[in-house]
Structures are given as structure tokens and as C-alpha cells.
Amino acid sequence: MYSFSPKLRLYSIVFILLGLVLFGAGYFMNHGVDEAQIEHMMEAVHASGNNLPSNSNELLGPQDHAAHLEHATAQFKNQPLAAVHTISVFLFAVSCCALFFYSIQNASHAGWSIIVLRVMEAVASFIPYAGGVVIIVMLLNVTHTGHLFHWMDPDLTDPKSANFDAILFEKKRFLNIPFYVVRTLIYVLGASFFVWKLKSLSKKVDATKSRSVYAKYYSWNIGYIVFFGFCSAAWAWDWLMSIDPHWYSTMYIWYAMVSAWATSVAIILIVSVYLKKKGFLPQFNDNHLHDLGVYLFALSMLWTYTWFAQFMLYWYANIPEEVNYFYGRFEYYSWAFWSILLLNFAIPLSVMVSSSIKRNYTVMITMAVIVVAGQWLVYYNMVMPGTVGPYWQNATGLLTNLGAVLFGVGSFIFVVMTTLSKLKLIPEGNPFVKESKIYEYPF
């Protein structure tokens, strides 16, 4: 049994508290900024030559100074909620992808991965916690306390309104508040149910070593794969792509899902190596590390493919309402836009091509950390330009995002490691556990 290290527990609590302090400071600073200061920021942005809208929502409606100031104010005030939305959706997606990876291993009767199944279960255990925060953010938006989603403004879909938006009116059958609430609850409650059900059946397989229980466990893994297949697509539309509702991409759902999947594999690798180094998982060896490294490398390259396919098609077509999505990221978030390619493509490609390097613990831990940071930046780049726009270059933006990330990381470590301390690290009842213990990569 794993024993949660008091030192690591202390670190996680410090992260949580420090995150709350930094986020609170950023929140109160954000709300203390008056209209005159925001107008000054807006004029500074325009003075730099960036006069075009940062997203397609700004192309509609009045284009006078008052309208621009109103929009700039809304964007600046979005900073705290956008930071929470980014980290909560990211960690929810990562946890769900960990359970997806877990279910794939069980559904395919994979032998090599049984040693790290409990690690996957522990990472997936964060689903209800991240999901709870997602629901809170959803409630703030649907009650119009938060304003991350442009399409939730009822005036935009009212044909009698001066602000009527024909594009959003056509999407109203899907993008409407009651249906959005129902879908969000289905995603969160459904995923939370599956992680509870699979963990309980996994324990039952260990306790009974019954083939009939294992068959039931297998069936529920198939069920989660089906659930995840539909819901991961839909929550990418709801929580991320609908931030820019005039724009859409057929590659977007794969882009968002593969990003989270690569992150989940990186985290599974980090936790597994940590347990190995602390002596709690001696059965984990170079061969298991190699296979996790293969998945990490493959998913990084798959993410690159989806990034390139999405970007190239829009660049080649050069249609204004589509290119505008990328314009806001080029002009105001170029540091993030290009860092994403460096962290998630260039470095993994340069380092992880060799099979032998995937057996190096230090190198693979380093690569996993780089991928986690890079993929969080992917989600940051999906959320911030459409919600905060160019108004991120200030102390309030830094504090709210840093605070949200530290709180999320601290909470994640605390929940995952606490869960691991309550589990038997080796699922001895699994019929493939012996194969995993003696597993050796053949090349």
C-alpha cells in the first residue's frame, strides 16, 4: 500500500493555499480597476496598431468608441472566471482521458499496462472535483453573473432586437441555456458515475477473482468508451468552441481531446515513476516506461497533426470570419501560439524519437512535465483570446491565472495521492496481472 508522503501532502496544501491567495489578490485587483483605467488600456492596444477585433463576436453591432469600451470592460472583467474555466475544463478533460485510456487497456485485454491501472484510476478520481468546478462556472454564466459565452445574451437571438445576430439565431437549437445546462450535467455526472462504477468493480475483481465479475467490469469499460466518444466531442463544443460561436472547426474536437489525452499519459508516467522511485511500485520497469513513452510521443505527434490540419485549412481558404479566430491569437497571444508548437511538437520530436531514450527515467519525466505545461497552454490559448482578448498583459491576469493553476495542481496532487493511498497498487485479481509483471518490450 502506498503511504501519502507528509512532505508531498504539505506541498499540495501549500499550492492550494498559495493559489487561493494569489487568485484572491488578482480578483480584488481586477474588480478595483475602473472604467478610466480600462479605457486607457484599450487606447494603448489601439495605439499599437492592433485595431481589428480579437474575435469574430466583435465584428457585429456598433463599432463606435462607447461600444468598444463596453466590450473591453467585459473582457477585462472576465479574467478571474476565464482562469478558473481554463484550469477546471483542462483537469476535467485530463481526468476523463485517463479513464478513457484505462478503459481502452481493459477493453483490448492489454497485458503490459495492468501494473499502472491503479495510477490511471487515481488520476481519473479527480473527475468529480474538476466537474464540480465546471458546474459552478456554468451556473455563474447561465445566471449572467459571468460573461464568458457571448451567445448567452438573449438580445442576440431576438429578431426584434437591434443587436440581433442571424448566425447565433441559426445555432439557437443547440446553443441555448437550458440545453447547455442539461448537457453539462450529463457530462459531469455521467463521467463521475463511470469512474465510481469502474473503481468499485475493479476492487470487486480483486476481492473475488471471479471471471463473471471481470466480464461485467469489461462491459462497463466498453460503456465508458462509448460515453466518452460522444461526450468528449460535445463538451469541446460547449465549453471551448462556443466561446467563439461564429467560428467552427471540424478538427476542433480531436484537437481538444488529443491535447488532454497526451497530458493524461504524461501524468500517469510521472506518478508511476514517482511511485517506483519511492519503492512502492517496484514492478514498474523500463519496459512499462518505454510503452508509456511511446504513447506520449505518438499522442504528441497526433496533436501536431490536428493542429496543422486545422490551421492550414483556414490559412489556405483565407475567409475573413474564419481567419479572424487565428488573428486574435497571432496579434495578442503570439508568445503562447508559438510556444505551443515548441513544447508539444519540436521538443518531443527532437528528444523522443529514439526507442532507447524512452527507457531513461530522467529524460521521460522531463518530457512529461514539458508536455503537461505545453498542453495547458493549448487550453489557455483556446479560452483566453475569446474571453479576455488583448487585456491579459497586466498583474491581474497573471495573478488570477497563476492562482488558478496552483490551486488546481495542489488539489489534483492531494486527491490523486490520497486515492492511491487507499488502493492496492497491484490489481492482483486481474487475469492479466502476471503478464504485466513479466512484460518485456520485444525490440
Q: For 319-363, write each residue's pLDDT tens digit.
A: 776 777 888 788 888 899 899 999 999 999 999 999 899 999 999
392 pLDDT tier (thresholds 50, 70, 90): confident
User: Residue 394 has what pLDDT?
Assistant: 85
Angle, CA of 337, 342 and 347, to the nearest 5°: 160
Residues 6+ apart with CB under 8 A from 304: 341, 344, 345, 349
pLDDT tens digit sequence for 149-191: 989 988 888 888 877 888 889 999 999 999 999 999 999 999 9
- Which residue matches cell numbers 460547449? 238
Binned at pLDDT 50, 70 and 90, residue 234 comes out as very high
pLDDT for 293 equals 95
3-state secondary structure the chain: CCCCCHHHHHHHHHHHHHHHHHHHHHHHHHHCCCHHHHHHHHHHHHHCCCCCCCCHHHHCCCCCHHHHHHHHHHHHHCHHHHHHHHHHHHHHHHHHHHHHHHHHHHHCCCCHHHHHHHHHHHHHCCHHHHHHHHHHHHHHHHCCCCCCCHHHCHHHHCCCCCCCCHHHHHCCCCCCHHHHHHHHHHHHHHHHHHHHHHHHHHHHHHHHCCHHHHHHHHHHHHHHHHHHHHHHHHHHHHHCHHHCCCCCCCCHHHHHHHHHHHHHHHHHHHHHHHHHHCCCCCCCCHHHHHHHHHHHHHHHHHHHHHHHHHHHHHHHHCCHHHHHHHHHHHHHCHHHHHHHHHHHHHHHHHHCCCCHHHHCHHHHHHHHHHHHHHHHHHHHHHHHHHHCCCCCCCHHHHHHHHHHHHHHHHHHHHHHHHHHCCCCCCCCCCCCHHHHHCCCCCC
> What pLDDT is stored for residue 319 in this prediction?
73
Give pLDDT tens digits for 40-55: 777 777 666 565 555 5
Whether the CB-CB separation of 374 and 343 falls below 8 Å is answered with: yes
Q: How far is CA 409 from CA 197, 405, 416, in A?
A: 25, 6, 10
Q: Is the pLDDT of residue 57 over 70?
A: no
pLDDT at site 38: 74
User: Do residues 217 and 105 make contact, with C-beta atoms less than 8 angstroms apart?
Assistant: no
pLDDT over 90 (residue 257): yes
Q: How far is CA 196 from CA 114, 215, 217, 276, 376, in A?
A: 19, 17, 12, 26, 26
pLDDT band at 61 (very low <50, low <70, confident <90, very high): low
The long-range contacts involving 213-218, CB below 8 angstroms and separated by at least 24 positions, are 214/429, 214/430, 214/431, 217/106, 218/106, 218/107
Res. 396: pLDDT tops 60: yes
Mean pLDDT of 83-88: 97
Q: What is the pLDDT of residues 10-48, one digit of tens each?
A: 999 999 999 999 999 999 998 888 777 777 777 777 666
Give the burial class of 250: count Cβ atoms within 10 A of its Cβ; 0-12 exposed, 13-18 middle, 19 or more buried: exposed
List, in order, residues 6 or more apart from 247 with CB less than 8 Å away.
55, 56, 241, 321, 322, 324, 325
Lowest mean per-residue pLDDT among 36-45, 101-110, 140-149, 429-438: 36-45
The pLDDT of residue 51 is 57
Mean pLDDT of 430-443: 84
Query: Average model confidence (pLDDT) for the chain?
Result: 90
Biggest CA–CA distance in the chain, Å, is 71
- pLDDT at position 443 is 66
Q: Are the C-beta atoms of residues 272 and 105 closer than 8 Å to each other? A: no
pLDDT given for residue 306 in this prediction: 94
Please report the pLDDT score of residue 67 as a whole number.
Answer: 67
Looking at residues 127-140, what average pLDDT do you find? 97
pLDDT score of 87:
97
**pLDDT-based confidence at residue 63 (cuts at 50, 70, 90):** low
Arithmetic mean of pLDDT, 435-443 = 81
Q: Average pLDDT in the 252-271 region?
A: 96
pLDDT score at 220:
97
Q: Say if CB 275 and CB 281 are below 8 A apart.
A: yes
